[in-house]
A = this chain, B = another copy of it.
């Protein structure tokens, strides 16, 4: 299993991991297939979104904080229920097609690790499968 180490510095933070995922795909040396990015944490997530204007991941985080307020009479005693809820809404994995040996992302797309309960040391699992 390929693993990427991610160090987060804020409670909420989106970190572009496209270069690290791209390197893992490149190392496999196949042309056509699929790539999966999996987050083994329950207060974090992974998403694909715009990688050009840094205000986009900022707007996504701010709006998620409005939709799922940090304090909202949750029963989970650890105080981070909002992070768990955002993890379920955004999702624990993404799939990206691999074509011609590279991630077949759209022009503006990047892969973001989504921290919702940082700062923490996190890891991300990356798998690839060749399609013949």
* Residues on A facing B (Cβ under 8 Å): 1, 32-34, 36, 38-42, 47-50, 53, 55-56, 58-60, 62-64, 66-68, 72, 74-78, 81-82, 84-85, 87-97, 99, 104-109, 125, 127-129, 131
Contact = CB atoms under 8 A, between A and B. Distances in A.
Number of copies: 3
Interface of A is mostly: mixed
B42 A56 contact: yes
Contacts of A32: 1
B42 A109 contact: yes
Contact of A60 (B55, B56, B78, B88): B88
A16 B90 CA distance: 19
B90 A93 contact: no
